[in-house]
Each structure stands twice: as C-alpha cells, then as structure tokens.
Structure 1
Amino acid sequence: MSELSPVAEDALRVVVGLGTVVVLPLGLRLLGDRAVPRSRSLLWPLAGLLAAVSVWLPVGAPAALLATPFAAACLVLAVCTVRVRTFPVAVALATPLVGAAALVAERAGWGLLGFSGGYLALTVPHMLFAGFGACLVVGLVAQTTATPLTRVAGVAVPPGVLLVLAGYFVSDAAELVGAVVLTAGLWCAAAATVGLVGSRTARLLLRVGAVTIAVSMLLALWWAVGEATGLAHPSLSWMAVTHGVANAVGFVLCSLLGLRLLPTTPQPPGLTYAEIGATQAGRLPQGYRHLRVRHLLMSGATTLDLASVGDALLRWRVHEAALVQVLPDGPEAVPGLRVVSRPGAGPVSLPVPCEVVWVERTTDRVGFAYGTLPGHPFRGEEAFTVERDDAGDLWFVVTAFSVPDRWWVRLAGPLTVVGQRLYLRVLARGARRLAVVRQLGRVS
C-alpha cells in the first residue's frame, strides 16, 4: 500500500474488514437462500474475518493464505449470479470475486494485470462497496418500489461500476465517464429510498445513506475530473479517508440496515403468471413468446398405443427415457402436484420448479401442463401431450408461452429459443424410444 499514507492505509483496512465481516453477510441475508445457498451461514462472516485479519499482517504467504477462503467464498457468489432475477443483483454477486482476487494478489505481494500495491488494495473496497454494496442496494430498492428513478438506477449503477473498473485499464477519461454514470445512478437510487415507507429508524438510516451518497459522489467526480484533466484534486489517501469511509459506512451500511428494517412482502408461493390453463384451450395469451412443436412418434398407431405412451408421459417416464432429471412430489402428474427439473450437471445444475395445472386423458390426446413457480428462470406455462390424428399417426406435441424472469435469460435473447427447442427435441427422442418399444412389443 505504498501509494497511501499510513492513516489512509489504516482506514482502508477498517473499511475492508467492515465489508467482508459485516456488509457482505448482511447483504446475503437480505437476498436469502433463493439467491445464495445457506445465506445465513456463519461461514460467510468467518471467511470475511480471515480476510479482515489478513490486511493487518505483513505482505507475504501467511497473509495471502488467510485471504484465500474469502476468495473461494466469492467464487461461490459469482456462480450464484444465474439464480438472481435482476442485473444489478447479478453484478453485486459477481464483483466481490474481483476484489477478492486483488486482495489475495496484494497480500502475496504479486502484481495483477499490471497493478500492484495501493491500486490493488483500493480495488478491494471498490468491489465490496461500489460493486456489491451499491448494486445490491439498487437491486433491493427496485424490488421494493418500481419507479422511473429505480429504473434509471438499475440501468446506470452496474455499468458505472464496471466502467470505473475498466477505466483502470483504458484511460482516466474512461474512468471519468464511469464516475459520471455511477453518480447519476446512485443519486437516483438515493432519491428513491427517501420515499420508502417504514419505521422511523429505517427512514432515518435511508436518509443518512441518501445524504451521504449525494456528497461523497461529488468528491468522486472531483477526483475523476482532476485525473482526466490535470486540474487540482484530492489525493488517493484523502479520497480513501473521506469518500471511501463515507460510502462504506454512511451509504452502503446505513442503506442496507434501513432496507432490512422495512416491512417485507412475502413472495407468493403459487404460480408466477395469471393465465393459468391457457395451453389446454390452445389460445395462447398475448405478451408472451409462443412455442408450438410437433414430433412424429409412430405411424399406424392405435388408441392403445396412445394410452400406453400417454401413461408413460404422465408417469415421468418420457423424461426418464430422455435422461432429464425430474423430482416430482408424486408418481403421476395430477393438478396441484409440484415437480422440480434440474437442467445442468452437478453443482451448476439449476432447480426449475413447476406445478401441474391440468391433466387430460381422451381418446385422441393424453398429457399435462405445468406452470412456473417462484425460482423458475421463466414465467409461463408448458404443455406436453401425446396426440393421435385422423391418419393414425402418433405425435409428441409441446405448446408453451413464456417470458424470461432472470437477467441472464433476457440477456441470452434468441438463444433461449434455441435452447428450448433443443430441450424439447431431447424429450421427443425419449418419447420416441418408448413408442418404439411399444410398437416392437405389439409386433412380437
């Protein structure tokens, strides 16, 4: 930390400890287990405590070793970005890993991407408070109140954080652009918190956070303008003691504590869309992406073939034959039954919860539909049916309507349609295997 004064170094150590031991575990508790597994576990603050101790030790292997568990914990958080709904919260979970990597490198006395010493040390609190803390505040406020201010904050703050980080590598001018974008977003978020309804203590904490960020970001703009133009501006040490401490304690900590004291609205346990059962009638609702797929299973099928393959579909054997992991609450699809499929593999598999909304058994169609539950990356409904047409051909038919309900699904855009069609092709292959087995058994 040779670029910083002794006072600034000590202030930086205290701020890092506050971030790793208090702010990050507090933020994870606010997010809950749906976003981060075991969000209330003492392992999070314990890993943070080891990192907090490491910054007071001399640079060397012991200090780097103590910081390593925190880096591993931040890697877990980065993986959890796929579980969250909004981009600000995803950035909040991803950026601590950047800070943790900088911490390990600085504590070991290494360089990282051309940086060392004080600049690496300053990256740690920036990623903990501008990255994790500020983005999390924006994401949580947006969940509490949807206003034009929160929408601007959600669009501006995550790119602002990343632009400031990119400015380290590009130029002082790029860092200035990032500071302007970040300031605009944080001021909008602060203004939005002032109107939130809660206890007197919650309102006081949120107002302290709003006032603090309004002032401290003026200091950030002053410093960024000075770096880009050569005008007189505060030193890094002065910024660490003023802007850094104010952001950490006055804005992030006070805002998170204030949000924690706000009355919570429990998430409804039921389906996440309104048009329940629309796939059965065949008239799909507007405002969703529609999908209709048909795969031929066999020609010359009888009603017994339909009943046999349809029964396999309702008893999850089509999914089993397609090697798709499903965890239903019962052996057969019935309305109200809940089922979780797990696309992916091992620790990176994603639980996808659904509830069966209708089941049909007729002389020409057998199947069911399930709708999305909280935690599903989409909102909507999907129907799987086995149908026999007038020519005697047996078809596997999928009818669905959905919209993305996760930031990364929206970001993937048209690729999600490709993924859906590949998944349905896999299921159709499983249904075809069962149909072939049925046909061979009938012939023999």
Structure 2
Amino acid sequence: MSQQNLESLDVEAIREEFPILEREFDGQQVVYLDNAATTQTPDPVVDAMSDYYRESNANVHRGIHHLSQEASIAYEEAHDRVAEFIGADGREEIVFTKNTTESENLIAYSWGLNELGPGDEIVLTEMEHHASLVTWQQIAKRTGANVEYIRVDETGRLDMDHARDLIGDDTALVSAVHVSNTLGTVNPVGELTALAHEHGALSFIDGAQAVPNRPVDVSEIDADFYAFSGHKMAGPTGIGVLYGKQSLLEELEPYLYGGGMIRKVTFEDSTWGELPWKFEPGTPPIAEAVGLHAAIDWLEDLGMERVQAHEEELAAYAYDQLAAEGDVEIYGPEGGADRGGLVSFNLDGVHAHDLTSILNDHTVAVRAGDHCTQPLHDKLGVPASTRASFYVYNTREEIDKLIDALDDARALFA
C-alpha cells in the first residue's frame, strides 16, 4: 500500500482522548507500549458505554418496553456496524463472543468435533497463538485428526512452498494468524485461504492483531471464518467477533445452549433461532457491543489507512533503533509493509522478564514472556522475549525512552 499521500495522524490530539496516558508513577509519565495485549480506550468509547448504562440499560430481545427496544436496536446495530467495517454481507455473519479465543473455540466445537475424523488434517502455522494452536491440538486428539504446521523461515515469514506441500486433499482446515503477535509478520492470508479452497478445505483466520491496525476485508480474503477482539482496537474488554460465511453458520450446531438462542422448546426437543442469535445464548455483552460500535466509529474517523501507516512507521523506527544497539536480537521481518506494529527482541545477557522490570522502573510498559507462542519461542531457541507494541497514540519519543532505558539494564547485568 502506498502511503506517500496519506496525511499523518494528529497524535497530540489523539492522546488528549486518553486520560490514562497522563498518569505518572514516581514522577514519570507512563509510556504504554503493550498494545498487542490490550489497547487503551478513548473517551468517546467510554462515554458511549456510560450513556448506555445511564439511559438505555435493559436486556435485549426479551421485552416490548421502551428501554428493551432501545437496547435491542443498539445491540443489533453494533452487529451491522461490525459487518460494514470488515466487509461482511450482513449481521447474520457476525457473532459476538467474549474474545478471539472463544471465537476459535466456537468453531472448534461446533464444526471440528462434528466434522473431523481420523485421516483429516488441520494445517496451522508455527507462529500460531495458543488460542489457535492449543484449541485445534485438543480437537485433533478427540477426533483422531492430525495437525501439521507451516514452517517459519529464518526471516520470520511463512515458508509458502512448505504451505503448498502441506495443504492437500486430506486437509480439512487451514487456520492461520493474520499478523503474528510475536514476530509482527503480516501473513498472506488470502493466498492461504485460496490454497485451502483448492483442496476443499475451510479457512479460519485469527485477526486479533490485524483488524485493529489495518483495513481488513473478509470478502476479499475469502476466509470462511475470521475472528478478532474489541479490547485490541480501542474498544472494551469482554467482547470478541466471529465472522463466518452465512451458508456455513447456518449448517453449524450451536456451541452453547440456553435462553435467547432458541426458536421453540418442548420437553422433548428444541430448535434454534436465526443467525447470529443462535450462537449468542443468555444475556449478551450489550454495553460492550455499544462500546465496540463506538470504537469502530472512532477508528474510521481516523482512517484505517492512516492507522496502518502510523503503526508501520513506528515499527520500522523501533526496529532500526534496536538494531543499531548492536547487542539486541530482534525477531521477525524488518520494519515495513510485511510487519505489523510491534517488535519482539532480547538484550544480550538480560532475561526478558528482568528487562521488562527495569523498563517499568522508567514507566515504560512492555510485555515479556512467550506471548502465548511457546512452540515458536522454542523454535527461536529462547525462553522468552520482550515485546514493544504500538498504537495510534504512540510516538517516536516514547520509543527513544525505551532505547535509553536499555543502558540501565546493561549496567545492572554487566
């Protein structure tokens, strides 16, 4: 994507909508670089949820009184807004869950347990988040299916020749992360989906690190299922999204049962309601849906192309600054169009947890550990890494503060 003509984000104005970024610890203003875990939430999203609780709080699809009608409309319109945002055909293809992990489990239980068997193959990537890897690993154990992994090459990219070798007529599902939460790699998910479809397989794309940071069109990708979370895109915690092609969702049995997802119940049997409600039993995340709607509005006002450009610029800057240190090992591709807005690294002689603690002394908030990608870290030959991840309110100056703090770590562990 060409970004030469994109107007830069007004980061100073954006930061004014995030009071938490003004917090200080021991007289130092916080530098929040843990956005791949959870982004901060702007005032318009908080206000939208607060207004809902103050003015329209009621259960949905259960009452004919005014408040229930208002809540129901707001909840349904949130589905419509998400569908529009990611290029789905309508609300019937948008199921609200708690998070990306639950979305993955919904398909694993509703489709995987019923459709997979001995001889079937599930193809994942070596950079999968545990939400995908563990889920399909366990489903394979229950069904007798096999799990295969597309290799990650020495640059942190997928080996697509290996992918073409793995994906064959025995493949039932290809599940891949759109953007790696450890390497930052932007994967060719459209190509992976096309390979799956050539062999009659389905595709599931984990978009938790993609939808918040770049334009995503599920119809262009042609994914059968696509998932992401609200709390990584300036929205609230407690709400995730599962996109599924309507024809597929109509065929699936529900994963959870109860009120709100039924059409008719007798003492002998039950039938299910229409999409997407048959996958949303019980009282749903109504306020969270209102917040997600507001977050999408807020992001689109910024412009997703500009969001992507800002993230890529910060990632490239962070990569270059860390690489210039000489004693830092960086994982994944160099900054650019095939890297999302994060950089994972290790400082020679300093464990990632120790480095993160030292950075915290400088009020720089980053993440240390395996980032729910233990097998990938085993492949990299390290027990953990430090991850700095960026969002629309971050600046080069904040990255500089991280770089400056490395000297304290070197001095302490010299």
TM-score (norm 1): 0.25
Q: Which has the higher contact order (CA 8 A, sep 6+)?
A: 2
Give the structure with higher Rg (CA).
1
TM-score (norm 2): 0.26
